[in-house]
Amino acid sequence: MPHILPTGCNAIDNLLGGGIHCGMVTDIYGESGTGKSQLCFTICARSAEYFEDSQQVSVVFIDTAGTFRPERIREIAEIGKARSDILENILVVRTFSSTDQANTIKRLAKINPRLLIIDGVGSLFAIEYRGAARHLALMKHLHELSLVAINLRCAIVLTNMVRSMTTVGNQLKSSEITTENPNISNMQQSDHQRELMGTSVSIYAHMRLALRDEKSDKSVFKAVLLQPSRNQEAYYTITGKGVTDLR
C-alpha cells in the first residue's frame, strides 16, 4: 500500500516531498483559474490508477460547488492508459450545506478510502456562518478531517479560495476573489492575497500549497509550499493530461 500518492506533476511532487502523503492533510489554495480543481482531477485519476484492482471505493471526492467533471477524469485517465472503468473506484458526494459536508466525513470509516478530496472546503461555511462562528465551525470540521487522516491513514486534499486585500481611502478591506469587483478601478489593489479563513485552516493542515498564475494567458502557473516553508517553487501547466510539468 503506497504511503505517497502522485499528483501527476513531478515538479509539484518534488515540492511536496514525493507527492500527497497518506495520514496527512494537504491544503491547496489559489485564485480561480489557477488549476485547483484540475489538480484535484489529476490526483484523483492517478490515485484511482494505483488502486484499480481494489474491490472497494478508493477515492472519495466531496464536491461543494458542482465542479466535478467525470468526463475530465476519463480524459486524464485514458491519456494515462488507465482502465476504462476507473470511475468505479471513485465515490462523488455532492454537498449543498456544511451539515452535508460534515455528515459525509462521519461516514468515511465505513468506506475506508485511501484518498479524500474536498474541492472548496471553506465555501459552504463562508456562506452559512458569519464572524467568529464561521471560524469555529470550520475548525471543528478540520479537526474531524485530521482525525480521519490519522486514524484511517487516508490522504486528504483540500482546496480553498483566496481573498484580496484592497485599500479604500485609508482603510484596508478584504474581499473574496470569486467575481470581478465593479468598483476595482476606484481601489488600490494590494499584491498580497490571503487564504479564505487561512488562520483556521493552517492549524490543522500539515501541508499548505499556494497556486499562482505566472502568465496572463494562463499558460504557466507556479506552486509554492508555505507549510512547511521551503525555498523552492514548482512550475506547471494544464493540458489534456491534467496538471503537468512544463515542457
Domains defined along the chain, listed by start = 4-161+196-245 (3.40.50.300)
| Chain-centre distance for alpha carbon 52 | 22
The residue ranking higher by pLDDT, 167 or 185, is 167
Residue 105 has pLDDT above 90, yes or no: yes
The answer to whether 127 and 97 are in contact (CB under 8 A) is no
**pTM of the predicted model as reported, rounded to 2 decimal places:** 0.85
Q: How high is the mean pLDDT of the chain? A: 85
Residue 182 has pLDDT above 50, yes or no: no
Q: What is the DSSP string of 127-169?
A: HH--HHHHHHHHHHHHHHHHHHHHHHT-EEEEEE-EEEEEEET
Residue 10 is given by DSSP the state H
Query: H-type helices in 16-168, by residue range?
Result: 36-50, 70-79, 98-106, 108-111, 123-128, 131-152
Residue 71 has pLDDT above 60, yes or no: yes
Instruction: For residue 226, name the pLDDT band (cuts at 50, 70, 90).
Output: very high
Handedness of CA 176, 36, 239, 41 (dihedral sign): negative
Check residue 39 and give its pLDDT.
97
- Mean pLDDT for 97-113 is 94
Check residue 163 and give its pLDDT.
77
Residue 168 has pLDDT above 50, yes or no: no
Check residue 186 and give its pLDDT.
37
| Amino acid identity for residue 25 in this structure | V
**Chain segment 120-146, per-residue pLDDT in tens:** 999 999 999 999 999 999 999 999 999
Residue 17 has pLDDT above 80, yes or no: yes
The residue ranking higher by pLDDT, 168 or 155, is 155
Taking the CA atoms of residue 190, residue 193, residue 199 and residue 201 in that order, the dihedral angle to the nearest 10 degrees is 170
Candidate from 26-35, 118-127, 173-182 with smallest mean pLDDT: 173-182
Instruction: For residue 181, name the pLDDT band (cuts at 50, 70, 90).
Output: very low
Residue 43 has pLDDT above 60, yes or no: yes
